[in-house]
A and B are shown apart, each in its own frame.
Chain A
């Protein structure tokens, strides 16, 4: 039941939805990131332990990919952003009258998210693990 919107790419990029648009976009990107990571992780573990030696190194390649530092930082970003933004969505769905404070809530959200993400990310990058 998709509603068809014929928007050209330049128009789509020029659309200035502000904070809510960014939140919506990051929520979707982080959702896809988490699903890809979790699926990849479980299949790699399954191939590694259940059918070891028969997959031609697929499991090792997958493991090497998601254990690389950039992917780890990306996964941390996805999980933290999705969790905190999701909490805001749940709260607004339960108490719709709070929508008046949505703008403030989004700034509070950044204030919670950025330290929670940047400190471990800095430790991961500087610590090299």
Chain B
């Protein structure tokens, strides 16, 4: 066994004086208590939104998609905008759980559970939009390659829209497996602590009979590493394929090779913003400030700054290329984006996504909780407008001036969007009540290297000469008692 050591200079990932039992206590006890009044208010509000969404969708299915504002020129309106927006939000969860695992970023442990949950709920919301955009939703299973009495007539495997079906269903399944396999040991903890009969039974089923043997853990770590390795290209492929929905067409404003990296960066950008929105509230309500620290928020704000800048460069590149191409269709499309009837959506996108994240160069802002919260919402508004700009302002003036139109949503479209917020937050509230929102076993794993009270004991190692350090690190670990936490 190697010496457990991390420099004192690095910020602790778990604040306060914690031992293993205290970690379980802090994270599991909110599940064992009755939820507060705020939880009920939020949950009922989410259910109402969800109900309104179901009503709006039922209306549109019953009367047909003519109840939506989309027309022959603008075929994709709010619904595909919302689809891309939600699926993009989902990407942060996988980035945190998979890519940061491969990069061995210790800080992911505090936020990965909630971020992965957010991914799953966001993908569930995203999936509703293309499904109901089909119009005759009862024929939706036609996208699946099932034997049928029409031939057998198969779906078009050469089409990006079908790639989307495969990409999103795979993404949902793999994210769910990754998330749930990490939850199993924590459910076992809740089960073993449970005092009530119902909780013992329910978490007994949910924990799959996990006991945490050495072999269990060995296989679990192998599984998580491979799932992380699979999820990393997967998450990049999902938004790449979503961008192909646009990029493989010949519509000016969509037909660009920059779309895949630009969409992926934008997805991570909006996803981290949503993670911040949720975690700022969750850490406050569930008193998890010592696990989801300011340092965690700062790390995510740095990613928002980076990806926001990438997105900004992509916007400018698009403008440059449209001029450089000297294609009048391309140039007109971008000119109308900036100065046409939808100028407000372009400038909302530019100011929210490109200008405002630059404030995160200031460390004080990155570490300021209310500022982080406001910025997270600003970024999500900006990223919604990005998709709106791409979808609506590329199509409302098409090749034939006689069919130019203007698009505004109708109430069932807005209701559908609000309904997905209802679905998302209903799921999130249930998650926050019944699931451990921080991965308990992963926090325990890093506690002795990155916990505040353990790190305080590292100071004397930090001040040692290199020779002494090597001596300790390579000799018997039975003598490692000098690394024990200071007793209080």
A binds B: no
- Which A residues have a C-beta under 8 Å from some C-beta of B? none
B interface, CB within 8 angstroms of A: none
